[in-house]
């Protein structure tokens, strides 16, 4: 099967030319899954999930990273550098490996999920854990990019947002028009800005007739945009969005206001409840941060008045990198001595022993 290549498929909307190497790990073209259960519970007839966990490193970051690293390669960069709460570093490390470039990543010490740290190491990045928050790690990465001549691949690099806007294109291509609402988590605020860019570019190109309202959600303990001021010590179980001073703050606020949308806060309990709902009701296992948009939809259900409105929730990453939060596995596993105990626990009617 000939798998589509994201850089080529959307090239007329991307900063790529004949000189740009078309690297790929199979990013993008993620499934838009129609809700079978949660939508009904919420009284929404057209609820969809854009599941970004199927990207090669397990998150939406791969869409932007393939563009940023291809451009770094094209422009002869010596290597790439980023700060990260985990997913960006995993993605940068993977695409740098693919491009044959060295990667340097700076993460907040103790602040990222073990699966993400492991990915960065596995893909061969040089990993530095710095005391303090993501915001401090980002300052270090920006400084390193200038002083060590490494290409910064955080979302301050416009190629990242250019790549991430392809998710908006895919949604429109699949639905035939923009949704009425887009719900998503907000951390460093690059993704909400990128989606808005994508929907607006598609409308300018005549590929969609309308624009969605954006509904972004921060974790309550890390909600600078909601509070209107930086949060020096952000706290939340959703480590991916534990950010107190988002780099794309202004563009996120613009996207919110231009779209007639909202940016609100959801608590850790609400995030973990949404994470459990997605897994149990829909078969979608996402990381805590990725459940924030759905937590927002549950909490602020009244934002969507028309039951027939088309609502898309972006699920930004797989649950496998940070599996534990929200699940008490031990209490849900029965330890048994034999088959008899299993049958007894299930309470099922038993037929005679099968002969085969």
Residues of span 190-209 touching ligand F0G by CB under 6 A = 190-191
Residues in the chain: 356
Buried b (16+ CB within 10 A) or exposed e, 302-315: ebbeeeebbbbbbb
Q: From the list 70, 106, 167, 241, which residue makes contact with ligand F0G (rule: CB under 6 A)?
A: 241
Q: Which residue number, 46 or 291, has a Cβ lying nearer to ligand F0G?
A: 291
Q: From the list 123, 152, 316, 326, which residue makes contact with ligand F0G (rule: CB under 6 A)?
A: 316
Q: Which residue number, 20 or 270, has a Cβ lying nearer to ligand F0G?
A: 270
Q: Which residue number, 20 or 251, has a Cβ lying nearer to ligand F0G?
A: 251
Q: Which residue number, 46 or 85, has a Cβ lying nearer to ligand F0G?
A: 85
Residues of span 266-295 touching ligand F0G by CB under 6 A = 287, 289-290
What's the CA gap between 260 and 142, in Å, rounded?
33
- Rounded to the nearest angstrom, the gap between the alpha carbon of residue 31 and the centroid of all alpha carbons in its chain is 14
What's the CA gap between 306 and 253, in Å, rounded?
25
What's the CA gap between 324 and 79, in Å, rounded?
34
Smallest separation (angstroms) from ligand F0G to the CB of 234: 11
Q: From the list 20, 30, 57, 85, which residue makes contact with ligand F0G (rule: CB under 6 A)?
A: 85
What x-and-dash track marks residues 87-106 binding ligand F0G by CB under 6 A? Answer: xx------------------
Give the N- to C-terminal CA distance of the chain in Å, as an integer: 39
DSSP 248: T
What's the CA gap between 225 and 204, in Å, rounded?
28
Task: Name the residues that contact ligand F0G, by CB under 6 A.
Answer: 59, 61, 84-88, 155, 185-191, 240-241, 287, 289-290, 316-317
């Amino acid at each position: 099967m000939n798998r589509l290549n994201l850089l080529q498929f959307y090239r007329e909307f991307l900063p790529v030319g004949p000189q740009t190497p078309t690297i790929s790990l199979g990013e993008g073209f993620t499934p838009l899954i129609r809700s079978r259960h949660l939508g009904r519970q919420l009284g929404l007839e057209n609820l969809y999930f854009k599941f970004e966990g199927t990207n090669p490193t397990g998150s939406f970051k791969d869409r932007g990273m393939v563009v940023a690293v291809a451009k770094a390669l094209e422009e002869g960069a010596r290597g790439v550098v980023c700060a990260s709460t985990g997913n960006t570093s995993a993605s940068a490390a993977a695409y740098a490996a693919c491009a044959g470039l060295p990667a340097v990543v700076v993460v907040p010490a103790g602040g990222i999920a073990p699966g993400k740290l492991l990915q960065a190491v596995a893909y061969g990045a040089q990993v530095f854990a710095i005391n303090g928050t993501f915001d401090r790690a980002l300052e270090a990465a920006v400084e390193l990019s200038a002083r060590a001549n490494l290409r910064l691949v955080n979302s301050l690099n416009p190629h990242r947002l250019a790549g991430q806007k392809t998710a908006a294109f895919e949604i429109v291509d699949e639905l035939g028009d923009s949704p009425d609402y887009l719900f998503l988590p907000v951390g460093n605020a690059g993704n909400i800005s990128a989606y808005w860019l994508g929907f607006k570019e598609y409308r300018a190109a005549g590929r969609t007739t309308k624009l969605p309202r954006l509904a972004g959600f921060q974790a309550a303990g890390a909600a600078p945009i909601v509070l209107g001021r930086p949060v020096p010590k952000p706290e939340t179980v959703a480590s991916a969005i534990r950010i107190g001073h988002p780099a794309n703050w202004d563009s996120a606020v613009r996207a919110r206001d231009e779209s007639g949308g909202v940016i609100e806060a959801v608590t850790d309990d609400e995030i973990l409840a949404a994470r459990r709902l997605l897994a149990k009701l829909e078969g979608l296992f996402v990381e805590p941060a990725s459940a924030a948009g759905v937590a927002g939809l549950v909490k602020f259900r009244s934002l969507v008045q028309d039951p027939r409105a088309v609502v898309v929730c972006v699920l930004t990453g797989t649950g496998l990198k940070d599996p534990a939060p929200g699940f008490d596995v031990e209490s849900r596993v029965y330890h048994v001595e034999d088959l008899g105990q299993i049958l007894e626990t299930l309470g099922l009617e038993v037929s005679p022993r099968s002969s085969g």
